[in-house]
Structure 1
Amino acid sequence: MLTNSGYDQYVSNSINTATPEELTLMLYNGLVKFIMQAQSAAIVRDLEKANEAMKRAQAILVEFRSTLNMNYEVSKYLESIYEYMHRQLLQANIKKDKDILEEVLGYAKDLRDTWTKAMKLAKQQHNIRPSEVIAK
């Protein structure tokens, strides 16, 4: 039987051994997961759970914005997307609006899928970082 401490150790090891690219993918997956949790909670009117999930998604967006390398043109574009998504999550949280959550979820999935493709391309092209693939 896998205990919580065993699972926690597995997660900790996964994070500690992940490449920066894999950590970014984990964050995108977390962003999608928390938005979906907020949607589910909003549907059943569990406002506390919806609020907590939206706050966690917002924290990921803040992290993304704080780690952007503004030497790349694409970073300016991503910053505006992250900022917009963050604002929309604030509005969704205030209004408990499932349509706004659906919109932000679409952006989160698109960003995650683009990052996944960039990781695959970088791996095929050997020694190129996904951020360099996206910047081109």
Structure 2
Amino acid sequence: MYGTAAHNTYAQNNVGIESPTRLIEMLYEGVLRFNAQAKKSIKDGDIEKKVYWINRSIAIITELLITLDKTQGDISLYLEGLYNYEITLLTNASVDGDVAKIDEVSNVFKGLLEAWRESTNVA
């Protein structure tokens, strides 16, 4: 239990010192990590963990959605629609236990992460 509390404190402090550019990258990476865990849980038949990991991914995407800067024009509208669609896919994957839907979301976020890194020179 102490290890988890210590890790959470470290993670909160680490996020507090990261640049906004790095935070977006970390969020995209988080979706990919949590989706991988959700896929493993589906393959293992662990419904509780499947729901847990999918909900974590949805929480990240929701955070990305609510923090979009709507003054950025078409790109923010595009991302809003994309994020909403990805949430729908993950919700359906949770209900159906559909690994293909999780893979689809992961492929989108791999592309977003790559594009983000290229556009911000963080690679």
TM-score by length of 1: 0.81
Higher relative contact order (CA 8 A, sep 6+): 2
Q: CA RMSD in A?
A: 1.5
Q: What's the CA shift for 1:42?
A: 0.5
Partner of 1:11: 11
Partner of 1:88: 89
Q: Which segments of 5 or more consecutive residues in structure 2 lack a partner in the other structure?
A: none
- Secondary structure of 2:121's match? helix
What does residue range 15-34 of structure 1 map to in structure 2 within 5 Å?
15-34=15-34
Identical counterparts, % of pairs: 29
Runs of 4+ in structure 1 deviating by more than 6 angstroms, as ranges, are none
| Alignment partners' CA distance in 2, 1:46 and 1:6 | 27
In proportion to residue count, which structure has more helix? Answer: 2
**Once the two structures are superposed, what CA deviation does each residue of 1:15-66 show, in whole Å capped at 9, x if it has no partner?**
1110111111111111111111100111111111011000010011111110
Deviates more, 1:28-37 or 1:4-13: 4-13
Aligned residues: 119
| Alignment partners' CA distance in 1, 2:98 and 2:7 | 34
Indicate the structure (1 or 2) with the bigger Cα radius of gyration: 1
| Alignment partners' CA distance in 2, 1:8 and 1:65 | 23
Q: Which segments of 5 or more consecutive residues in structure 1 lack a partner in the other structure?
A: 122-136
